[in-house]
Structure 1
């Protein structure tokens, strides 16, 4: 599997002939975006690759469609380049595409393509904040992708989520070869100490539970509402148990890296 980290939550995965793009964000730096309840964030870093650099893709894994740090204006153009878009049920209703599939947590779908192995995709649970914020922040899912005939996923994208019981239970049986772990400890001044995504300490616990072959931190830089960015997260990971440290792989932006 070859993974290219593009920025924020966005990565290109090239795997067994499949080209998979996660949460496309391709706007330049400098824009300010509005989120729920009038909260805002500024995009501080542009993408390491352009859409033209990425080219055509087979599948977009879109954890949710309604926040610009996971799907910005330029990122929407990436959806049209994909043969298939996988997202939430609400996201599928809001997305115009010939093959957009909405999944709730636990839902499954099959990806097939000429000359490519079949992939089963299972939507994994996410909670994008405290329980009472769910009606405000909306639905989110992660995705576990398993090649036909394999016992465990080759790829798991956690999606934007805090660490909670449903996620822990899902992680316990996954054992993915590669996990893209969304962190960043998203916070807004308006809601004080509330976090809307995992911080690095949460990720350590999740990695211990899921036991991926490789864990790639993403969704950790490029936006002002990420309260724990790469340098701070790296310090936490450096003090984690060796069993976790040995799994974590920081990928340079814009550089394809072979994993596993």
Structure 2
């Protein structure tokens, strides 16, 4: 079994180009705000951390490495704001993001797990500059490009399960004597928002809950002389992002495909999101604490960071439940908990 399908797209990100993430604020912030707390691996630090993840809230994070910033699932609504999650289904935000949308520093690309308003809210959709690269699902590409007409996004890349693309990084230090250039390999991972069976078939007809991806994000280096092929790419750090999925059989293919390849970090979407809402919790569409523990057992990452756990009233599985389950499993030394505006720093191996 091959590790993944052939590269479908190729994108070059240039850290020397300064552009705002939004259309109405042409001058981006110079950098992220100082984190409230900086975390490192529970195993300790060798003092060589060269990459970071900054937690903004919900599933919104900023991955920073080699001068490049990738924004995941942008949601910048505030407490009291509402999102539409399907026919007759709304959710109310309970928290504020760590920073506001217009306070973002330069963003080079967006990694969007699926086209759902708690991951790509109405203000984000209206405000993001149209040429900002977005990597997402085929469904999201149709919504952001085909259905938006003249106001469409112009640089959207769609990846299905196990399809991948390479993001080359152009930096001032890229052409070094080492002959290596930084690059990021993004691969779509399986995910299901709706459980199999009658409900899934009904959702396919109604289109109420959108299809979703997880991601494998590999930070590493390739030969400076290579072309768009990833044949020379060597991963120095793997991050698995679960996306809004339940614990479904399709996830079992991930450790099979990455057998013998270490997963350094997992960002797991929790919350036990229920629809139509907290007053009538008929269907769970994201993992709760129990399923999160099962995913840790399946993927076996070195470190797990839970996200997407308390920002909306549709989340009925509190983070405290996951903490108790982690302690019961004896895994306290394998989990890092981030509050909004906290940062996790790690080392990408060269």
In 2, the alpha carbon distance for the partners of 1:77 and 1:176 equals 35
Unaligned runs of 5+ in 1: none
Give the SS at the match of 1:198. coil
In 2, the alpha carbon distance for the partners of 1:107 and 1:78 equals 29
The answer to whether the Cα contact below 8 Å between 2:276 and 2:283 also exists between their aligned partners in 1 is no
Q: Greater helix percent: which structure? A: 1
Which residue is 1:98 aligned to? Answer: 154
Give the SS at the match of 1:154. strand
Shift of 1:27: 1.2
Structural RMSD (CA): 2.2
Matched, 1:8 2:58: yes
Shift of 1:194: 2.4
With structure 2 as the length reference, what TM-score do the two structures score?
0.68
Shift of 1:151: 4.9
Which residue is 1:157 aligned to? Answer: 241
1:110 pairs with 150, 166, 171, which one? Answer: 166
In 1, the alpha carbon distance for the partners of 2:163 and 2:276 equals 35
With structure 1 as the length reference, what TM-score do the two structures score?
0.90
In 2, the alpha carbon distance for the partners of 1:185 and 1:82 equals 34
In 1, the alpha carbon distance for the partners of 2:131 and 2:67 equals 14
Shift of 1:137: 1.2
Q: How does 1:203-214 map to 2 (within 5 A)?
A: 203-214=292-303
In 1, the alpha carbon distance for the partners of 2:281 and 2:54 equals 34
Give the SS at the match of 1:256. strand
Which residue is 1:187 aligned to? Answer: 274
Which residue is 2:230 aligned to? Answer: none
Which residue is 1:167 aligned to? Answer: 251
User: Highest relative contact order (Cα 8 Å, sep 6+), 1 or 2?
Assistant: 2
Shift of 1:231: 2.3
Superposed CA deviations along residues 92-145 of structure 1, whole A, max 9, x for unmatched, are 122232321011111111111312612221100100021233523121111111
Matched, 1:122 2:201: no
Change (3 A) 1:215 1:98: same
Based on CA coordinates, which of the two structures has the bigger radius of gyration?
Answer: 2
The answer to whether the Cα contact below 8 Å between 1:214 and 1:259 also exists between their aligned partners in 2 is no
